[in-house]
Each structure stands twice: as C-alpha cells, then as structure tokens.
Structure 1
Amino acid sequence: MKNCLNFNCEIDIVDNPLNLDLNDFLDIGIRNNSKRRFLFISKKLGKHLACKPSEMDNLGKLMATIYNKKNKVASNGTVIAFAETGTAIGHSFFDYLSGNYEFIHTTREQFDELENLDFLEEHSHATDQNLYFEMLDNFKFGDEVILVDDEITTANTCMNIIRKIQSIYPKKIYTICSILNWVSDENLRRISSLEIELGCKIEFVYLFKGDFNFDINEDIVANYNDNCNISKLSIMKDDKINLIVNHINVDLEDYIGNKKYIRYTGRFGINKREQIKLKEIIKRESKKIVIESKESLKKKAEKVLFLGTEEFMYIPMLFAKEKENQCDIYYHSTTRSPIINIDKNNYPIRSKFKLKSFYNLDVQNYIYNIDRHNFSECYLFVELDKSENSYLEFIDIIKNTSIKKLTIVCCS
C-alpha cells in the first residue's frame, strides 16, 4: 500500500462477505505511538477524514446487514462500541440491528454517580476505558453482548471486556463486529481457549478479514517526530476579519449528571424506544440550522462541514444527514489520536491542528486536513455547555482555513 516516510504495508484480504473494494474504505497513517506505530484510517468512518454523513451511517448498516443475515432469529442483548473511534459506527450498527437490543459505548469520561466496568485498551494512546452499565437491563439479563469497533487486530481488548462481563453477568454468546478483522490464527486459538474457560461462544462479523505486514524505519520516524510541525497560522491578518461566528443551542431534552451529558449519546445506555425518540428530536432541532440553498452553494462550488468532538460523533452525524439533501455536506470529528502529518499527495493526513479538548483541558485534541478542503461553512457540535472563551482556540484554527462562517452548536 502507500509508501511514505519509509513505511510499507502489505495487505492480504481472505474474506470479503459483501465483495466491497478495500481501497474505498481504507488508508494508512503513522502514529506518534511507539506501542503501535501504524493506524488504519477509514475513509468513511467520519473520524480523521471528512466524508459524507450517509457514508458513515451506511458502515453500521453494512455490518448490521451481515449480522442480521447470519442471525435470522431475533435475539436480545447489548451492543457495546469502543470509544472514541467506534462510538458512531456502533450506534449506527445498533440502529439497523434486528431484535431487542440496547446500545452503550465505552468512554474516557469519569462519572462517579453510576457503577462502572473499567478495563484496558492495551494498544491505545489512552488506555483507560469506562463502561457505565447501571441503567441497562439487557446487559444484566440479556443473552448476548455485541462488541463493535472499526478494527480488531489482536482481540486483546475484546477478551479483556468479555472476561470482565462474564464474571458478573454471564452471557451465552459474544459477537465481535468490525470493519477490519486482522485476528491471527494464534489469537483465534486463544479465543477458543477463552470460550472453553468461560463457557460461552465468541463469534465474528466483519466487512474485511485478512492479515497485513507493516514495516517502518523507526530511526527515520523518531527524527521526523522531532521536526514535525503543526500547521502554521499563515493567513494574513486582514483576511481573518472575514470570519463570521454564530452560536445556537439545540435542545436534546434529556441530560445526566452535573455536567449535563446528553442522555441519548449512548454513553450511559440507550434502548430502541429511546433511539426512535432521539431521531425525532434531531429532526425537530435540525430546523434551527439554516443553510444556504443547494443551488446557491453549488454555484459557488462550496462545501459545508459538520464537525463532532471526540466521542460525540453520532448525534452530529445525524444532524449532518438531515441536511445532506440540502447542500454539499461533509462530516467528521476532532480526535485524541495523534497521527503524523506529511504533506504529500499519497498520504492521507496532510495537515493537523492542535486544540484542547472541550471535555478536559488537560487532554490534547487534533483536527486533520481541515484547511485542505474548500469548506465555506463549519458547524461545530459540542456536547457540554461552555463559555464563549472556550472556543477562541478553535476560532483561531478556523481563521486559517477557507471557512468564512462558523456556527457553534451547543447541545444543551
């Protein structure tokens, strides 16, 4: 695959149940993480790269299609998505899933008011994962747990959480769902041993299964990291005056805790009835977002960006999808994941900007390639209520792009 910064990745796909083209879904980047240097970057996940919101939602639909076909008898259980990259695809998967299921995603957020199942994501740059399962019924009494992420490599994280769940609320079956499945024969043997040990079945659903061989010159990467600069603020001061900044509030109705986390994100669990309610709320509240007509924007060849923040991906995607037929909408999210940017045509991450997390000022966030598209407008979606000063850093970033109008959408 791509050969840049002296790395090479050879991929062999051995199973492709929907006969999809891997190149439509996948790219490869290099991370600032020596524990796991490479990163498979999805072109349709809406995390690191901008995509159409319907493409992101369709990823979950594709995985649910395979699952529903494989499991013709509707069951009951819990869908668990892994933060932060898996939160939106897991929620979409749950939305298209047949049967009586609940949805929850793991979170980096600390919330002392509910019982927590904590575990480790061993290869991650941020290993602490929390699962606030107390408000779920099927998690305790259902037959199955479905684990959803964009990629499964060793399945160690899945085995960690399966062992934890089985010790408190034993299940008959666990299904591990992903876009990419790289689980080796050796790790499959470990999973078989775990099945015998815990007295349960562990199955897989995926869009692509295969293996890969990744090579990189670590000396070159180390030197490049030392000299790797974040994209510079380079637009002339006179041009920066043109940015229009608006603030609007949308009412997501139900909130949890002192910070007022949105009830319907899935951080604390959501059932099918609540999912229907969420979609009704989005349809209603999206009317507050007024965008120029498609014809007007098309004449100007302009694009509009809907930007989520960290784990807060699915709800911004739904808002973007509501507007997709009105104009040329793209969608993605800020991320904690540190990827090396290389300004070359054959590399996916051309530029990056740093900013502080809107959840925790001690956490570093990144936005990739936001200055490499002809976006005319940006809608930033933030889950927690913030002061206007909290957005100054982000506003400075936007001033160095083609974006002329920024609307901060506070979901409180």
Structure 2
Amino acid sequence: MTENMIKARKTADVVWSGTWVAERLGVELDGDGRLRDLLGLALRRNPKRAHLLVSNVLGKHVPQHPSVIWRSGYDLGVRVRELLGEDETARAVVLGYAETATGLGHSVADGLALAPYLHSTRRPVPGVARAGGFEESHSHATSHLLLPEDPRLLAGDGALVLVDDEFSTGNTVLNTIRALHERFPRERYVIVALVDMRAPEDRDRLDAFAREIGARVDLVALASGTVRLPDGVLEKGQALVAEHEAGAAPVPAPRAERGPINRVGLDWPAGVPDGGRHGFTAAHRARLDAALPGMAERIAAALPDGARRVLVLGFEELMYAPLALGVALEQRLGGAAGGPEVRYSTTTRSPVLAVDDPGYAIRTRLVFPAHDDPADGPGPRYAYNVAGGGFDAVVAVVDSTADTPPLHAPDGLLAQLAAHTGHVLLAVVPSYVPSHASPHVSSYASSYAPRDQESRMLPDPLRGPAFSSYAPEDVGWLLQDLSDVTLEAPTEEREEAIQSGGAHYAESLPVEYQPSPQYQELFRAALDTSAARIAQAVGTVTETVLAERSPRPVLVSLARAGTPVGVLMRRWAEHRHGLDLPHYAVSIVRGRGIDANALRWLAAHHDPADVVFVDGWTGKGAITRELAAAIEEFEEAGGARGFNPEMAVLADPGSCVRTYGTREDFLIPSACLNSTVSGLISRTVLRADLVGTDDFHGAKFYRELADTDVSRDFVAAVAARFDEVAEAVAAQVKEVLAADRAPTWEGWAAVERISEEYGIHDVNLVKPGVGETTRVLLRRVPWKILARAGAGADLDHVRLLAEQRGVPVEEVAELPYTCVGLIHPKYTRGATGADGKAVAAA
C-alpha cells in the first residue's frame, strides 16, 4: 500500500475524492447532502467529456462493501415498487445499461421482487437475434445491443424501468426510450439512477419528452445535483491527462514473491444465467439465491489462513454474479466477530487517469490485455484501486467465455493481481448462451443432453413462481408467456366468431370466470366429498402407467385441464414409490394439433417412448383423436418417432382410452374452475401474429387472481388421501390390468344421437360429461343443460352456474353421462331447436 493511500484511509472523512480535479479544473459539484458521499471525480481521455463521476457505491472503480453496493440498488428498486404499486410492479421489466450499470440494474430488479431483468451488452452473441440497440453519445464505446432470449420480454404493456449509474444530459436514456417506444409502445417509463446530475437546461426536457411520446416518465435517484464546468474545461482536462500520462502510471511496487493462483469450483446452478445479458427471471433469482450460501462456503474454504482483507473482483459486464457472491461471502465471513473484511469492484474497459492523491478517486490502475475476444478488438482493460489496496486475497470472477489464454498470460489479469496480493482465486461462472444452452440438470428436469442442434434453439420450460402458482418441481410449461398481451373477448363475441368461422377458439381467451362466494363454497364442499375418490383414480391411473408404459415415465399433461392430474400423478409416484418423475405441460388445439415444437423439445431431452400424455377426462374423444392424428403428422414431417399417442386420463366416461383411473362420470373439482385450480394459467393460445413457426404455443399467467387461487389446495387435499386409498388402488389396478379395456367410443355415439335429436347438427357444440358441461358454462354461450334424472350432488355446481347464467336444466331419463352441455347454436345458419323451430340469433 502506498504511503498516500495509508494517509488517505486515515483522513477519508476529511478529504473528498473530487478535490484534486475541482482545484485544478475549477469543476464544482453542487447538490444535496449525499452527493459527495456518493461521488468522487477523476479525469479520462475522451474527446466529448473530460471529467468522470466516480461512484463509491457502484462497484466499478472503487472497492466497496458488497452489501453497501447491492443495498443501494435494492433500495432504489423498493422506491420504484412503491411508485408503481403492486399491480403495475407485477408487469414491470427492468433494463440496465452496460457496462457500468449491469449490476446496479440487477439489484434494482431485486428490489422489484419478481421483475424480469435485461441489460444491454457490447458483446455480440452468435445465433442470438437482436431485439434492438442504441448508441451512448458520450462514451468511449458506443454500441449497445439488446439480446433477450425471449424477444417478447420488451413487448409487454407494463412499465419499463431503465437503470443507469448517472442521469446527466439524459440523452442516452431518452434515445433508448424513443427507439423502444417506436417498436414496443407502453404507457409508463421509470428512469432510475444513483445520481441525477442534469443541468438546469436539461430538466425541462424530460417533461417535454414525455408529452412528445404520450407516456408518463418518472425519475428516481439516490441524490441529485449538478456539475458546473468552467469555460475551456475540456481542453484543460485533456492537457492535464496528457501531462500526467507522460509519466509512469502510479502502481505500487509488486510483492517480492507473487502470490499463488488457484481455481475454486463454484458449482454454479445449471441453467441459471450468469447475468441479465439475455434476461433474468424471478425463477432464476430464486434458484441463484438458494445456491449462493453453498458457493460462498466453497470460496471461504479456499481462502488462505489469516486473510483479513478480501476483494471479490468482477469482470466488465459480469457485475451481478460476483456481487451476489460477494454479499454471500460477506455474510459467511462476517458471522464471527472481527472476521475478514470483504470488498467488491470490477474490471473495466474504460480508460481513466490514475493519480495517487487522497483527493482523487482513482488512485492506482492495473492494465492488462482483453481476455474475452471482444467485438471492439483486443485493447487494454483496467482494474482500478486494486493494487495498493492491502488485499490479502483477490477472488477474480469471470464467465467461461473470458477464461482464455490471455487471462492466464504473463501480462494477463491473474498475473497482475498475483503481483500485488497474497493469494488469487479464480472462480468461473458458465456463460449462458440461449441458442446453445444445456438443459437444466436438477430434481425437476431431465439430465439428457439435447439430441440435435435445432432443439437447443427452443427455450427451457417456464416454471413457477415466475409462470404459474405451482412449485417449480411440479410442472414445467412448454409454452410461451403471453401474460402482457390482451387476448380476452366477451363470451358472446367469441362464440359468434367461432361458430361463423371468422376465428378459431384458440385465437382468443374468454374472460376468466370469477367464482362467487357461494360457488367457492360448492367447490370446497365438492373437494371435501370427492378427494378420496379422486385420490383412488389418481393412484389407479398412475399404477397402470408404471405397470404397462414405463417404470420411469415422463408425464406430459395437456394444458390446462390435464395439468392438475399430471401434478397429482407425479405426487403419487413420489409418495408411494420414491420416484421423481419429470412433468411438463404442452398445448393441444382441436383442429390444429399438438404443439410440434414442444414435441421437438421433449424428443431432444427424453426418450419419446417414455412420454405419457395425460389429460383430465374424456368427453366424446375429440382430443384423443386429435392427439393420435397430430403424432402421426409429426412423424410424417420428419419429427422424432416413438411417441405413444395413447392418453392416460383420470376419468374416461366416453370410453375413449385404455389407461384411466375410472370410467365413471363424476364431479372432478378441478373441472369446477378455470385458471384458479390450474396454476393460474389460461387456456392455451395459437395465433399466427403471436406464435411463430419456431415458438411454443402461448398462455397467460393470471397473477392478479392469486387471492382466489386454490391450485395447491386442490393438490394437497387429494394427496392427503393417498395412504387412505392405497389398498383400494392395489385391488382396482389388478382388476384393470386383467380387464378388456379396448375403447368402445360410446361417448361419440351418444353425442351424435344428442346432436341429431336436438337439431344442433354440429357435434362440437355438444359437450358431454360433468367436466365438459362445466367448461360450457364457464367459457362458452350455453343453450341448455341435459342432466341425468336423479343426479345428485355431483351437479350442484352445474345447477348453480346454470341459474347464474339463466340456462335451463333439462332432466333426461336415459343419458349415458351424468350431464351434457349444449352450446347455443344461434350462430349456426339454419340451426333448429328440439321443437323444430329455427334458432334465431340474439
């Protein structure tokens, strides 16, 4: 440590780290009380701006406690959350600026709890399409790329939160907003910065800009002020830089012996991105948080004995991952009184003059060659205030793309660090590249490697809590998230479009039915009454699958009615056999088939022969036929062979499948509701302008319905009865396996009879069974309900819904189902009712 640095540490409360520049150039920093605590000043060789505001809480140039750095961003995020309110926060997206604000933006996103995060990047990634880009006018390196894994990340209608370290002229941020607003217009933007340093003439621009684009633009900052620059400051600054650069850069003398350089394995969680370059979700955040204590423990164990001062050194845009490791290490080492002091900073591509003076923010600099094959060439890179910092150990954290020979070269970063510290640890975080990412390897994902390059272009499954209210291990959704797209249409309007041929039912969504207190009571009562009966059916169908299909099946439920059943089958296998079965949900659309991209993903990660398609129940067997035809078409088009189209269902009243839990038509409580019993996920959507040829089908996550969600309650209530029904399941499975279970398609024949008898002339408007009848009442325009004479409590909820919608319930003496729902045929030309009269359009 230099004599001046020792002196500076003793006088830190007296000497402001901007004094040197202020005295020589006449630069003045005016603002509120926090400004000088947050900022120092330095000089750089730049033709557009000579001075540099050096943040003490950013973690770029000045080593600082990791917790202080993270908390500064987190607290800003909390303020944004308070500004937006919880509803709007749930739809917000955070965008940080490379390179300095990548960690700050991520910390702000932490403060917004579930907000997805993306940062711009100057590193092109082959195979990843650009969703946008912009220029930073005052910077030495101007090109910013936006490379989200999911291009729709920026397309929602929620607030866009833009994070930079400082807001000075505002040009960069406003240019970004203008460019994005042209492609992805929205109503609200929030600008977040550590400091608001706009000049008075720039302050009115923000309001004028908001009026220009027709959106609200707010600003949140820790402190505000202005930099007053005298005339000729740029020329004076350049001359001062040239004068000092002519001499040797201040670097303390190296140690007599270089410290050792050792690797430390992090065991970074598979599939978690190294940062926000391609997007970072709440699910990623939860998995990283769970892994951080273990990674900090591995770093702590590798530190040399007696280390009292430790620096975690990040790498250019890789700021958040090492920051999170630093915070975790700080917590780990700070547990005992007098534990080692942990600091954090990162390397940078920004050239800044170093002056070894207590009143100057950049005291020393290390210069080393770039080691990540950058787009702008192999120019020098820098680490400031590291040499002479008195660090006993430095933990250098890089991503795998940057773990190259130049990093380990005699003049590389590691050698430079080893010359000035007692011990160097190298921790490498795997670089996340969407087009080449390996599948998740975890308790709820396959360990199979992708079998073809094409499949690796498809994203990993969506999981809760970012998408659905189910636990992440319960189900992975092979869908794309359309939560921010308005898809709902009035029921009558949808019905007219569907029946007239103007639109397919999968191109829009019905408005989600909100159950009344009375209806919710009916659901609870039905669940209490039928939980054991459902548990027995779950056990029977699961044991049949294990006996006949595969000892370790891959459950693939048909979203969304099949998903609660898939979750329960997975729970049965785990509870009764200790099996941890993969479970995914995919989309199938009547008339358009199953999602072929989902099949490609499944074939790349699993043996198709192990895949078992799961649904809730059968009616007339339309989806059963659709699945068989879709699998055949997929194979004929060159897709993977081996998928078995035979479904496993909880209830098969239509006698359409061989693998079932029961063939009785009784009330399955999961049929009583829509998304609130299916993980808050909508019915799936297939529309050309939203779903491309290489996209999964879409669906929405209704986060706003969390207060009425009973998805986990339903699963828990049924699973609680597993042990109770185990003996009955064993006896029933013996009977099932010995029985002739060939489908008779009785349901289809019954529907054809009913269709003819009631003059509907379209079997798609006849929905047999309790489950399908409930769907009619919740999502379509019902005409009438046919109920088997004497049907009891299984139809209480049907009768209530029919009463609420003014639909007659007609009792029928001989009916193969407990009930049948008839969709109003008023939009079908020439349709007649049961009395032979024409059905007029309303």
Among 51, 70, 77, the residue aligned to 1:64: 77
Q: 1: CA distance between counterparts of 2:295 and 2:147?
A: 27
Cα offsets for 1:354-391 (capped at 9, x unmatched) = 11223226132101121222111111001125246632
Shift of the alpha carbon at 1:313?
0.9
Query: CA distance change for structure 1 residues 287 and 293 in 2, over 3 Å: closer, same or farther?
Result: closer
Query: CA distance change for structure 1 residues 170 and 44 in 2, over 3 Å: closer, same or farther?
Result: same
**Structure 1 unaligned regions, length at least 5:** 256-261
Partner residue, 2:363? 350
Shift of the alpha carbon at 1:293?
8.8
Cα offsets for 1:53-86 (capped at 9, x unmatched) = 0000011122123223323343112100001110
How do 1:275-286 and structure 2 match up within 5 A? 275-286=285-296
Among 307, 312, 315, the residue aligned to 1:309: 315
Opposite residue 36 of structure 1, the aligned amino acid is R
Query: CA distance change for structure 1 residues 233 and 396 in 2, over 3 Å: closer, same or farther?
Result: farther
Opposite residue 20 of structure 2, the aligned amino acid is N
Partner residue, 2:768? none
Query: CA distance change for structure 1 residues 130 and 8 in 2, over 3 Å: closer, same or farther?
Result: same
Query: CA distance change for structure 1 residues 81 and 188 in 2, over 3 Å: closer, same or farther?
Result: same
Among 41, 50, 65, the residue aligned to 2:54: 41
Q: 1: CA distance between counterparts of 2:393 and 2:407?
A: 20
Q: 1: CA distance between counterparts of 2:382 and 2:303?
A: 31
Partner residue, 1:2? 19
Query: CA distance change for structure 1 residues 38 and 48 in 2, over 3 Å: closer, same or farther?
Result: same
Shift of the alpha carbon at 1:406?
0.8
Given the two structures, how large is their TM-score scaled by the length of structure 2?
0.44
How do 1:188-227 and structure 2 match up within 5 A? 188-215=203-230, 216=233, 217-218=236-237, 220-224=239-243, 226-227=245-246
Q: 1: CA distance between counterparts of 2:98 and 2:270?
A: 21
Shift of the alpha carbon at 1:196?
2.6
* Alignment RMSD: 2.4
Q: 1: CA distance between counterparts of 2:317 and 2:199?
A: 29
Partner residue, 2:115? 101
8 Å CA contact retained: 2:241, 2:353? no
Opposite residue 350 of structure 1, the aligned amino acid is R
Shift of the alpha carbon at 1:158?
0.9
Q: 1: CA distance between counterparts of 2:241 and 2:311?
A: 34
Partner residue, 1:259? none
1:142 match: secondary structure: coil
Q: 2: CA distance between counterparts of 1:304 and 1:30?
A: 28
Q: 1: CA distance between counterparts of 2:207 and 2:341?
A: 47
Shift of the alpha carbon at 1:137?
4.1
Structure scoring higher RCO (CA < 8 A, sep ≥ 6) equals: 1
Cα offsets for 1:135-177 (capped at 9, x unmatched) = 1544212321110011010111111111111111101011110
8 Å CA contact retained: 1:150, 1:178? yes
8 Å CA contact retained: 2:398, 2:429? yes
Say whether 1:85 aligns with 2:104: no
Q: Would you identify which runs of 4 or more consecutive aligned residues in structure 1 move more than 6 Å?
A: none
Given the two structures, how large is their TM-score scaled by the length of structure 1?
0.88
Partner residue, 1:319? 325
8 Å CA contact retained: 1:49, 1:368? yes
1:147 match: secondary structure: strand
Among 369, 381, 389, the residue aligned to 2:385: 369
Opposite residue 164 of structure 1, the aligned amino acid is A
1:212 match: secondary structure: strand
Partner residue, 1:381? 397
8 Å CA contact retained: 2:322, 2:397? yes
Partner residue, 1:244? 260
Partner residue, 1:258? none
2:289 match: secondary structure: helix
Say whether 1:395 aligns with 2:433: no
8 Å CA contact retained: 1:264, 1:275? no
Partner residue, 1:31? 44
Q: 1: CA distance between counterparts of 2:151 and 2:282?
A: 12
Is the helix fraction higher in 1 or 2? 2
Shift of the alpha carbon at 1:186?
3.0
8 Å CA contact retained: 2:407, 2:414? no
8 Å CA contact retained: 2:245, 2:353? no
Say whether 1:55 aligns with 2:71: no
8 Å CA contact retained: 1:230, 1:354? no
Shift of the alpha carbon at 1:39?
0.9
Q: What is the aligned-residue identity percentage?
A: 24
Shift of the alpha carbon at 1:314?
0.7
Q: 2: CA distance between counterparts of 1:342 and 1:3?
A: 9
